Amino acid sequence: MESLGCNKNLIDSEMMLYLMKKEYEYMEDPREAEIIIVNTCAFIDDAKEEAIDTILTCAEYKTVGKCKKLVVAGCLSQRYGSKLKKEIPEIDILLGTGDFTEILERLKNKHNNKFQLFGKPDYNYPSPGKRSLLTPSYSAYLKVAEGCNNHCSYCVIPQLRGAFRSRPPETILEEAEILTGQGVKEIILTAQDTSLYGNDLSDSLDLSRLLTMLAETVNVDWLRFLYFYPTRINDSLLETMSKYSNICKYLDIPIQHVNKDILESMGRQGDYETFYRTIEKIRDIIPQITLRTTLIVGYPGETEKEFHELMEFLKSTEFDWVGVFPYSPQENTLAYKLDSRPDDRVVNNRFKKILQVQSKITQKNYLRWLNKTIRVLVEGRSELNPEFYNCRAENQAPETDGIVYIKDNGAVQTGNFVNAKIYHVDGHDLMGEVSR
Ligand code: SF4
């Protein structure tokens, strides 16, 4: 199994893996596998390229390995279906974002190579999602909803994942119990947009309500959630976060830009002032909060003026973590036909400038942890430096933020929490030693 793309796709891969392991033996070495599954992403050009490269690499195992069936699932097959099969005839089975749970039937079905047009991806998450985790045993993503209704003008995800549909809270609680029963200590709630959770099920249900239910009933150390639409931050969410010690004081709020006209063209809400006040409010209610955001540079219409505004915003708000993407025009999106796109060289310069400025801010914010003792989750011995263990603190989400290196004192165990006294800030990472 090659799982590409976002953590929502990873969960789909884990569900396919769970089903496959019922009837097939999992091989770590792709040369030994008779069936290879590539679960793809098709969000932006880089992701599409990575998916095609991975498919072509796996297709080679049909000659240099034991591969008999190459299965391609996920957003690339949902988006390009038959075209993909024409261009890569080595593909035997295509699964969309709505029918990947049919993988066993499709493998048995002798007509499985006949291309099947995918319907609208409106499947509902089976409850509780039986999965074979691809994350470390102590941490797991938990999907609270599928699809998206925001229809940002540059984004294809609503076409690939369908309309927003929340999972019933009882199935989420059930799955959280299963995960913690398996030893999971960190549960990361995910969706395309977690801020919409519950709206489609009942007026009294929202993410704060779900977090309260989970925090009060599930024995989990860290409850984290990602992808919260910035203009939907409200007092009840912030009060819920500050009320429960097992809810991470970590907020991922993708703003994408701050200029009003650019945001309007993106089909997104908010502006400089709104975001600025929201961040002030968040820090008032939760002073120790860690803030992450995502930005798009080089969107059509972004001149030096709008870019300067974005840089000023970053310097005045000082997010802890910022992910930045150069705009990638996608066919069949509203923004695709927009002209006045800055040229690639300009976009590249802006991309680098944001990383430079943000890197200094991240390091400056990190200084607040110096000489502090913080609780960290041990993730394993450092490959770079085996004297140390890689760990993560509450202010660090997996795969995107920095890590905490702690010296091995012989009592450190992967998957456990220890207290670490921080004695050094090293770029985007911290150095610490175990403290009682
Ligand atoms: S919120 Fe916007 S960018 Fe994110 S998945 Fe939905 S449509 Fe795409």
Instruction: Decide whether any atom of ligand 1 lies within 6 Å of the 263 Cβ.
Output: no
Q: Of 249, 256, 253, 198, whose CA–CA distance to 224 is shortest?
A: 249
pLDDT of residue 82: 85
pLDDT of residue 129: 66
Nearest Cα residue to atom 1 of ligand 1: 150
How large is the average pLDDT for residues 381-388? 90
Q: Say how far residue 335 (Cα) sits from the centre of its chain.
A: 23
Output the average pLDDT for the chain.
Answer: 94
Nearest Cα residue to atom 5 of ligand 1: 192
Nearest Cα residue to atom 4 of ligand 1: 192
CB 32 within 8 A of CB 66: yes
pLDDT of residue 384: 85
How remote is the CA of residue 173 from the centroid of ligand 1, in Å? Answer: 25
How remote is the CA of residue 170 from the centroid of ligand 1, in Å? Answer: 26
pLDDT at 117 over 50: no
Domains, the chain: 2-117 (3.40.50.12160), 139-367 (3.80.30.20), 370-434 (2.40.50.140)
CB 50 within 8 A of CB 74: no
As a whole-number percent, the residues of the chain with pLDDT over 70 amount to 95
CA distances 269 to 151, 258, 274, 293, 435, Å, are 12, 10, 9, 15, 45
Instruction: Decide whether any atom of ligand 1 lies within 6 Å of the 148 Cβ.
Output: yes
Pairwise CA distance, residues 240 & 251, whole Å: 13
pLDDT of residue 411: 85
> What's the number of CA atoms in the CB half-sphere (13 Å) around residue 431?
9
Instruction: Decide whether any atom of ligand 1 lies within 6 Å of the 192 Cβ.
Output: yes
DSSP state of 226: -
Nearest Cα residue to atom 2 of ligand 1: 152
CA distances 41 to 10, 61, 193, 254, 403, Å, are 10, 21, 17, 19, 26
Tokens of 33: 């596998």
Q: What is the best residue among 193, 293, 294 to mutate for testing ligand 1's pocket, by most ligand atoms within 8 Å of CB?
A: 193
15-19, 270-274, 296-300, 409-413: range with lowest mean pLDDT: 409-413
